[in-house]
Structures are given as structure tokens and as C-alpha cells.
Structure 1
Amino acid sequence: EISEDLFLKHLASDSRALLEMMKVSSLRIRRDLDAMAKDMQTLSNFTHDMRNCLVPLGIAEVLLTDVMNILKGTQQFHKERHGKDKVQKGFDTMLAVRNNLVVMIDQSLACVKKTKTEYVKAEADVLPLIDETVEEISCHKMLRGKSINVKVEGKPRKGIFNYLDIKRVLQNLLINAGYVTRKEGNIDIFIKNLNDSIQISVRDYGCGIPEDVKSILLKENYTSKPDGNGFGLMSCKEIIEEYHQGQINFESEVGKGTTFYFTIAQSSN
């Protein structure tokens, strides 16, 4: 890297030196772009092959459907077998996860290929989504043994949102909260109606966020987790701000904890 003083003194008035400098810069940019294109192609191939890896779940679905039919009883006079409801719940969860993965993979491939796809948002209640997310994510290693409490202020109105993506936001925020929550500690989720939106907050009672980190959070891929990559919060920001035209922010006090909150549009009905 050349300092401004050195550039002005030796290069600014030398057209040949400037031309050579531009050639070197152009070559470096071209190399960087080629490397980025190669990385993107590798990522695309990997994402495509991930979808293929889900195909065997179709076989598992057929086999488990047969098992479910046996547990229900193959004749009218048969009684349902004990444990059938638990197996059914596990079966339904497996199918939901498989379907969600297929949707996310297809979205990733469409983004890479620059294919224009419709972003689907629909009217729905937020409370069932939150309850479902809490139940599914509570077995995560960061959340096991910790209490997740849902607190509703007033009667929650229906929102307009993409069900899977808002679930992704909640999952990321809950896992982050779990990381700083002691064993058997509490994490609170708050639901509140605003004028024309619904605010959902996730609060932990952990160590809080240092002042020097606050300024870069939600702006860079920052992480404090040893095995983290910082993509989680940036994913939340993209989903809320770009796809839902909402807001996401946080409040934190060192030694007392952190609250991340975001908004989605209310239904007019």
C-alpha cells in the first residue's frame, strides 16, 4: 500500500507509472473476482448436493407411514398401540424439518442463479409459531436445561410474515440467548402489539454486550462463540429489514443481560 504523500511525490505526474499501477490493480481485482466466482460455484454445488442428500428421507417417510398404519391398527376392531402419538409427533417433526430444508436450499440456489422468485408472506398468528419454535429448539445444546418463558402483553394480533423465516430469526436469537444463560437459567420471549406492527423480544439475563461490540453488532459477522461464524444475526437482519420491512435492534447492560427485539407488520383484518 502506497501512502498519499509518496503517491503525489513520485507517481501522480508519471503517466506510465500510473498505467502500470492500474494494470496491476486490474489484475489483482480480476484474480479476486475469479476466486469469488469459484467459491460461489463450490457453494452452489454443495447446496445442490445437500438437496440430493434429503432424498433418502422419502424412503424413511414411506417406511414410517407403514409403521404408523400398523400402530393405528390394520383392522377396524384393532386398538391403537401404546406410544403411537409419540411416534406420530416424531414423524411429523421429521417431515417438517425435511420440508423446511428443501425450501431453504431452493431459496439459496435461486439466489445464486439470480432467479427471481416470489417471497411468500401470509397472515398468521404469532403465538403458535413461537410455541412451536420453542418446543423444537429446546433440545439444542445451548438451551437444554434452561427455561424459555413466553409472555404476552394483551391479545396478540395476527401478523403478515413468512412462517419459516421468522422461525429462523427466533431460532438464532434463542440460541444466542442460550449461549450466555447459565444452566437452569431463564430466557423470556415477549409479544407486544404496537400501532401497526407486532414486536417480538428475546431477553437473556447473561453477561451483557460490551460497549466496543455494540457498534459493530448487526453490521458485521461478529461472534463470541468459539464455533460461531457471525452469520446468525446478519441473517436475522436481512430477513426482518429486507424481506419484512421491519426493524431489529437490541438493548444491553453489562452484567444484567440483553434484549433483542424485532417487528413484523400487523394484519389489517
Structure 2
Amino acid sequence: MLLNYQLKQAAKHEPANKNEIIFIIHGLFGSLSNLSGLAKELQANFDVILVDVRNHGQSPRSRSMTYPEMAEDIFELADSLGIEKISVVGHSMGGKIAMTCALLQPQRIKNLIVADIAPVAYGDRHSDVFTGLQSVSLLQAKNRTEAEKILAGYVETPEVRQFLLKSYQRGDDGFDFVYNVDNLHHNYHLISGWPAIEGEYTDSTLFIKGERSDYINEKSMESVMTLFPNARLKIINDTGHWLHAEKAKTFNRLVVNFFA
């Protein structure tokens, strides 16, 4: 599947074989614009490619969303652009896609950064979100203001509602989400899970955790170190799962310094 993408070319452009190319992969309910601030920071020295993963943004829809399939989407895009080796930054679900890329084809991944997720299966954390999104669609909210009022009955945190509604956009037939809610709900057990992948990725790896988030804990770090034995962990104080938005300057600095 050929994904929709956006290329941010390095300001200091060098010959193609010398420029490190960084793919940035968003999380569940996101789009390529979510990490555009990070892309702008990296663009000073690197070519950056932001992607919409399948069933999100302007990328194709699919009833299937296994992590090996989504990793193959990344490699197919790289192949279409004539890129052999890439570095990958992924947040949440995007972090699982990035880890899968590194484990399935480690020879093609130069560096890896994973933001607030571990290579483990998680329980249901989004049932209220899905119910709220489905209600917005069912009631055919005419704009974001109406959609926000409906969603507030299911999602308590205003910041989360605003994030979800960034993708509620006007189209030819009125407002709708630019991610496919039904396909995401159908595949949620796979998205929240983790595939059985053998092997390990031994090159440079950075995991970044939000201090108040429980997506990475002592137990899940055991799985991290088994699959990524050269991984380092950085913790951003006083922030949760959306660390790239809550503490953008700190998050971006950690990523930039890692690549530098």
C-alpha cells in the first residue's frame, strides 16, 4: 500500500547518499501533521518524510491493520522513493510500527526512536473514544463545535477531544473524520496488541517516556531490552502519553540531539 506522505527537504542539503533520511510515524487517530513541529526542527540538517499510516489522513483504507503490514507500507514508500536505508521516529502506534520495521528488516533501519510505547500488548484504553467518535458520525455533527459537544459525553479530557477533532474536517458531503473509525475499531485488538516477532535490533535506539504515562514501565522495559539490547531510555518530567505535544521543546531537543 502506497502511503500519503510529505517530504521536508533538509535546509543544508548534501549529496543524497550522505543525507540521513528520517521517517516520522504518527499514532492512533493522528495524521502526518501531528509531528510537523519535530519535522521542522530536524529539517535543518536532515531530509524528513512524514507519513499518514493506512486508514488515516489521505492514505488508502484497508480492513486489515497488522503491524507487519503497516511496516511493509513504510518500506514500500521508501522503495518508491528510491531510499534503501532510513531512520524512524514513531509515537504510540507509530512507535510499534517503527519497532516492527526495525525487527523485520534491521539492515534497512539506521536509527530508531520510539515515543511512549513498548513492544507489548495493552488492554482496552479507547472504548469510550470509539463510542464517542461513532456517535459523532451517527448524529452527523455539522461542524466541530457540534462534534465537540457530542464527544464531551464520552471523552472527559478537553485536550484529547481537541486532538481527536483535528481530523474532523469538511468534505464534499459535509464534515467527517479523515481516519476510518470503523476500520480502526475493527482492528483495535491488533493495534493494542503486539505481534510475535523473533530476532532483535541491535543498532542505536532511543525510547522516550512521559513521566506520568504508564505505557512504559519496569515490566515492559524487560521486553524493550530483550528486543532492543542497545536501547536507552529518556524520561520527560511532568508529562503524559502526548509528550510530543505537552513538552514539545524538550521532546524535540531529545530527538535532535540523538540524531546529532
TM-score, structure 1 length as denominator? 0.22
Determine which structure has greater relative contact order: mean sequence separation of CA pairs < 8 Å that are 6+ residues apart, divided by chain length: 2
- Larger Rg belongs to: 1
**Which structure shows the higher helix fraction?**
1
TM-score (norm 2): 0.23
